[in-house]
Amino acid sequence: MVASQLKSRDIKDPLVLRAMATVPRHLFVPSNLRRLAYVDGPLPIGHGQTISQPSIVAYMSEILRIKTATQGS
């Protein structure tokens, strides 16, 4: 997912790429949709809500310019 969906869409922040590669996305979707968890598309998660597609999550995370505690502000 990271190489094919994120890097190809110009996501470059190493912290975002590492987080997207590390966090198990399938744990955040209903069990009947887990086979689709890593497809670059939104998925319903219940109560009329969706989990955004991975490339959008990465993009939103990247533009926040989040720093680690060791990086400071």
Residue 17 inside a domain? The answer is: yes
Catalytic positions, written as ranges: 52
Residue 69 lies in a domain: no
Alpha carbon distance 73, 67 (integer Å): 7
Domain total of the chain? 1
Partners of 44 in the β-ladder: 50
Residue 43 lies in a domain: yes
Q: Evaluate whether residue 73 is within a structural domain.
A: no
The predicted model scores a pTM of 0.81
18 occurs within a structural domain: yes
Residue 27 included in any domain: yes
| Residue 55 forms part of a structural domain | yes
| Residue 54 is assigned to a structural domain of this protein | yes
Question: One digit per residue, pLDDT tens: the chain, 73 residues?
Answer: 777 888 888 899 999 999 999 999 999 999 999 999 999 999 999 999 999 999 999 999 999 988 777 776 5
**Domain extent for 57:** 2-64
